[in-house]
């Protein structure tokens, strides 16, 4: 199968490998890749591994035909790709979180007319607060976003929440859910047009869990 598949490293990797294996594609060469970022399987697909936020870039550009990426990345990056299927793993929520105790959101709006939000997901945060009629001052943070409200940089954070353990350990709580996120299968638009039969068959296999 002459197919280039972009696979995310990190939290979605194991789920991605399980989903790919379930549709009958070989993944052992990918597990044994070591530090190689491209793994070519004789008679099979070529795997391209990269960090999750870069998957849409490779797929959109045509460097990969299809890829697996979280819905959170798609909503933040808004790439020009086809979203083919919800793969159902990697479930988490994008949430507005603040320090435990009284919710500071309304008080910040009342006193200053704006709530300060620290996040890596600038577009998602902007759309959310605009949609609720609240003005937000967005502070982009690339590292440990939980630190921002603890040192007074922001009133709260917009970030992905899976188990909630990191929030609890830093005295933060979820206040509002922006959206739920799971892993999605995406495709390059040209690849989908030229190889519709192959990709549509693969989508059916993914949706059936390899059955």
**Best CA proximity match to 53, nearest among 5, 12, 89:** 12
Enumerate residues 6+ apart whose C-beta is below 8 A from 168. none
Identify the CA nearest to 127 among candidates 63, 174, 179, 167: 179
* Residue among 198, 180, 185 nearest 55 (CA): 185
Assigned architecture for domain 4-90+182-207? 3-Layer(aba) Sandwich (3.40)
Would you state the structure tokens that stand for residue 187, as one six-digit string?
């495709």
**Fold identical between 4-90+182-207 and 92-180?**
yes
Q: What is the pLDDT along the chain (211 residues), one digit of tens a residue?
A: 689 999 999 999 999 999 999 999 999 998 887 888 999 999 889 999 999 999 999 999 999 999 999 999 999 999 999 999 999 999 999 999 999 999 999 999 999 999 999 999 999 999 999 999 999 999 999 989 999 999 999 999 999 999 999 999 999 999 999 999 999 999 999 999 999 998 999 999 988 875 4
Among residues 137, 138, 140, which one has the least CA distance to residue 120? 140
pTM of the predicted model, to two decimals? Answer: 0.91
Domain 92-180: what homologous superfamily? Answer: Periplasmic binding protein-like II (3.40.190.10)
Distance of CA 79 to the CA centre of its chain: 12
């Amino acid at each position: 199968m002459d197919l280039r598949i972009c696979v995310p490293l990190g939290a979605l990797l194991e789920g991605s490998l399980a989903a790919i294996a379930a549709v009958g594609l070989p993944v052992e060469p990918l597990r044994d890749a070591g530090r190689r970022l491209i793994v070519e399987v004789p008679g099979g697909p070529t795997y391209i591994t990269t960090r999750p936020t870069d998957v849409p870039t490779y797929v959109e550009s045509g460097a990969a035909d299809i890829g697996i990426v979280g819905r959170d990345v798609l909503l933040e990056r808004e790439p020009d790709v086809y979203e083919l299927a919800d793969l159902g793993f990697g479930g988490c929520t994008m949430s507005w979180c603040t320090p435990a105790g009284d919710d500071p959101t309304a008080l910040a709006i009342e006193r200053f007319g704006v709530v300060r939000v620290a996040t890596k997901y600038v577009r998602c945060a902007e759309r959310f607060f605009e949609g609720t009629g609240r003005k937000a001052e967005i502070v982009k943070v690339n590292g440990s976003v939980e630190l921002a409200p603890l040192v007074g940089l922001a009133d709260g954070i917009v970030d992905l929440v899976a188990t909630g353990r990191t929030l609890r350990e830093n005295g933060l709580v979820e206040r509002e859910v922006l959206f739920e996120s799971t892993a999605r299968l995406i495709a390059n638009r040209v690849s989908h047009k030229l190889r519709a039969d192959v990709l549509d068959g693969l989508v059916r296999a993914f949706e059936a869990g390899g059955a």
